[in-house]
Copies of this chain bind each other. A is one copy, B any other.
């Protein structure tokens, strides 16, 4: 078990752990046994101190002068990120975004298995996407329960997003990823992560607008 109790881990750190994981994976493929904080930092335009701080969540792990053991570090990060196991995922909404997500190979690779798809369009209900049947969103709650769904991905219009989230929450699911451009509310025991494509572009327009501004990673 990774001992991380008592430490505070920010969302940015979680993000960097995901990135380190991917770097370690490719280093492992390339046959590397160890990696220094400097090398990890260079690949992500971070400072070695930042990398060491992030990896200190795993206790005294790297060896001064030798660096971190690649496979072992990758395995430990997988454990802390919870990607060393399989997660049952349901997708609500099979429009353009939903279709893109079902085809997204990296989900299954990282352990996220889309087991159920829901939609409210009668023409879509009963059809199959990548072998997964589309169910009527009317049966959302009962099917989430029956299939032990742990994570729900929402790719629905903003106008219905809160309604569906309330139902997902009432089904006992406590992890939701939303692509709906809406301000959504969940109880404090539920983790909601929203992806807003426009907000991603706003990072770029910010940098284009403030080119000479110092900013931190």
- Residues of A in contact with B (beta carbons under 8 Å apart): 4-12, 14-15, 17-19, 22-23, 26, 43, 45, 79-83, 87, 89, 95-97, 99-101, 103-104, 106-107, 109-112, 150-151, 153, 174-177, 181, 183, 188, 191, 193, 195-210, 212-217
- Contact residues in B for A87 (Cβ distance below 8 Å): 201, 205, 208
Q: Are B203 and A15 in contact (CB under 8 A)?
A: yes
Q: Are A18 and B96 in contact (CB under 8 A)?
A: no
Q: Which of the residues B106, B181, B210 comes within 8 Å of A197, measured between beta carbons?
A: B106
Give the complex CA separation of A150 and B207 in angstroms.
12
Closest to A155 in B: B100
Q: Which of the residues B26, B97, B103, B208 comes within 8 Å of A150, measured between beta carbons?
A: B208
What is the count of identical protomers in the complex? 2
Give the complex CA separation of A79 and B87 in angstroms.
42
- Contact residues in B for A197 (Cβ distance below 8 Å): 101, 104, 106-107, 195
Quote the shortest CB–CB distance from A63 to chain B (angstroms). 25
Q: Which of the residues B26, B81, B96, B150 comes within 8 Å of A202, measured between beta carbons?
A: B81
- Contact residues in B for A198 (Cβ distance below 8 Å): 18, 104, 106-107, 109-110, 112
Closest to A98 in B: B100
Q: Are B183 and A26 in contact (CB under 8 A)?
A: yes
- In the complex with contacts A110-B198, A198-B107, A209-B80 CB distance below 8 A: yes
Closest to A199 in B: B18
Closest to A150 in B: B208
Closest to A182 in B: B22
Q: Are B208 and A175 in contact (CB under 8 A)?
A: yes
- In the complex with contacts A106-B197, A107-B201, A81-B206 CB distance below 8 A: yes
